[in-house]
Amino acid sequence: MKLHAISTLALIPSVAGVLITPKSVRNRHDQNNQEPPLLARSVTPFLDVQQKPISLGSDGGGGNSRTGFNIREQNEALCRAGSRQWTGWIDVSEEKSLFFWFFESRTNPSIDPVTVWINGGPGGSSMLGLFSEIGPCLTNEHGNDTVYNEHSWTNFSNVLFIDQPAGVGFSMMNNGTLGGPDNELEASRDFDKFLSIFFTEAFPEFSHQPFHLSGESFAGTYLPGFVDYIDRRQQSGVPDVFKTKIDSIILVDAVIDLLGSGSLGQYDHMCKFDKDGNNKVRLGYNQTACRDIEKAVPECQRLNNQCIETYDGNICRAAFSYCADHIEEYILDGPLSRNPQDDRVECDGEMPLCGLGQFQKYLDSPPVKEALGLENWNYTPINYDINTRWLNSNEMFMPSTRELRYILDETPTRVLMINGNNDIIVNTEGQKRVYDSQPWNHQAKYRLEEFADWEWPDEAGKLTKGGEFKAVDKLASATVDEAGHTSPGDQKEAVAFLMKCWLHNQANELCPF
């Protein structure tokens, strides 16, 4: 088994602040932004006002409690957001603190929904999604400043980015403790604890607004498990559970079935030959590789079926080992520098980010870390130790199809799948089969439904085909043309249109849902 193949598949994918207390948090909507979004103005110096965060325990007392939170308000010099923003930590246990970056909606923060975003890995920082895809600001090409993102999801939603599990990105293990969660149950407990404290103590005024969870790549494993865990606790009536209804989850280029979404769709995606024997995919595989993959697909499928049927970690690991060695190897070991995230381009930079690392340079710069209160922190976008711990525990290989079935059949939570059509590692061909075979009450009807085109309007009203979609009851799927693994970053305006339709339940002739 090639460990580098496993890591690549799974990892895919001033600052002066205002000190705030629970009282000032509750009253901050009284301070409406008077300035328009900053598009081109001089950046104020970092730390033009001394910034000291306040730490509060869960009882509202001093900062000694390790079940509290730490918040500081940031300004446009750190992120050109066009709305108010806060960074901080929520202590989810004595040993673990989860970092967040919270942005108010640019439109109507007291009414607009709250959308959580997490990246995958396991071990991937959600700052990738913030600064490269959907956040209100993006890092520039030099990685030394931010630019305003006019197509951010904050145009229509409050957005909360969370680095999780503990040890990822700016989240931390306290008191020198090593490790971090290496399984879905512990990560779910911490996520539940984070949300409970965030919405009851740190930002309680947002607790009654529509609430959605979104994420990318391995978040397809995280999020169904989180919702399953939280909903069952809500139903049991335990007092300390996160109590807000979860309106939907949005799974972006995300794996609910690691092999079905990846290996088993590779032949369909990378072996498209014309009558003259030329591959229609620019960086597609040659015919020899495709013949080898074709031979491996039946056994890979058989082993993956066993994994899904048994939910046995050892069986799922064995299935992945076979499929990685016989199919995934061609991404990494072929003669071309393929980008596993996008079949249109070669890998520009180190795997697995392939040129998406400008945000790392920015976040690891001394002024930014000082603004966040982490002068001595070494920021990295991927914690490979956590990735390895999940790999060693077999949790990396487990599907989330049972959890998704529970969500679709037993909860009010809707599910949206979005996938870039140029993604190799989580390819659309595999995703379509995975969701067609997903067991739930309306599986037969969903499987029978045909995909149809969806269009999005630009600022001038011109319509452009965005991809295909189908929707039945609580499950919807949308593909995105000219987009890879980070589809919201590749097609910002198109995916933002989809998301606004979904989050606001807009019923008009253009919204596909």
Domain boundaries along the sequence of the chain: 16-261+357-513
Q: What does the DSSP assignment read for 468-510?
A: EEEEETTEEEEEETT--TTHHHHTHHHHHHHHHHHHTT--SSS
Neighbours of 378 (CB within 10 A): 7
Q: Which residue is it, tokens 């600001």?
A: 137
Crossing angle (nearest 10°) for helices 401-410 and 219-236: 50
Instruction: Tell me if 215 sits within 8 A of 251, measured CB to CB.
Output: yes
The reply to whether omega before 122 is within 30° of 0 (cis) is yes
Who's near 115: CB < 8 A, 6+ residues apart? 153, 157, 158, 159, 160, 211, 212, 213, 214, 250, 499, 503
Who's near 204: CB < 8 A, 6+ residues apart? 25, 26
Beta bridge partners, 419, equal 479
Q: Is 60 helix (H, G, I), strand (E, B) or coil?
A: coil
The number of angstroms, rounded, from the C-alpha of 392 to the middle of its chain's C-alpha atoms is 23
Which of 83, 98, 162 minimizes the C-alpha distance to 130? 162
d(CA 186, CA 179): 12
Distances in Å between the Cα of 275 and the Cα atoms of 101, 142, 167, 280, 382 are 52, 44, 51, 10, 43
Distances in Å between the Cα of 253 and the Cα atoms of 3, 11, 229, 494 are 22, 12, 22, 15
d(CA 341, CA 484): 6
Residue 390, classified by CB atoms within 10 Å of its CB into exposed (0-12), middle (13-18) or buried (19+), is buried
pLDDT reported for residue 176: 62
d(CA 40, CA 27): 30
Instruction: Tell me if 470 sits within 8 A of 449, measured CB to CB.
Output: yes
Residue 452, classified by CB atoms within 10 Å of its CB into exposed (0-12), middle (13-18) or buried (19+), is exposed
d(CA 497, CA 156): 10
Beta bridge partners, 99, equal 89, 163
pTM: 0.88
Which of 381, 382, 387 minimizes the C-alpha distance to 362? 381
Beta bridge partners, 139, equal 146
Q: Is 232 helix (H, G, I), strand (E, B) or coil?
A: helix
Which of 50, 124, 70 minimizes the C-alpha distance to 379? 124
Q: Is 311 helix (H, G, I), strand (E, B) or coil?
A: coil
pLDDT reported for residue 347: 79
Neighbours of 305 (CB within 10 A): 14
Which of 493, 501, 311 minimizes the C-alpha distance to 401? 311
Handedness of CA 429, 431, 435, 439 (dihedral sign): positive
> How would you write the pLDDT of the chain (513 residues) with one tens digit per residue?
333 333 344 443 322 222 222 222 323 333 333 333 322 222 333 333 334 344 454 443 333 334 589 999 999 999 999 999 999 999 999 999 999 999 999 999 999 999 999 999 999 999 999 999 999 999 999 999 999 999 999 999 999 999 999 999 999 988 666 678 899 999 999 999 999 999 999 999 999 999 999 999 999 999 999 999 999 999 998 988 899 999 999 999 999 999 999 999 999 999 999 988 888 888 888 899 999 999 999 999 999 999 999 999 999 999 999 999 999 888 766 555 578 888 888 777 666 667 667 899 999 999 999 999 998 899 999 999 999 999 998 989 999 999 999 999 999 999 999 999 999 999 999 999 999 999 999 999 999 999 999 999 988 889 999 999 999 999 999 999 999 999 999 999 999 999 999 999 876 788 998
d(CA 227, CA 307): 22
β 211-217/248-254 pair status:
parallel
CATH code of the region 16-261+357-513: 3.40.50.1820
d(CA 164, CA 172): 9
pLDDT reported for residue 505: 87
d(CA 227, CA 405): 11
The CA radius of gyration of the chain, in Å to the nearest whole number, is: 22
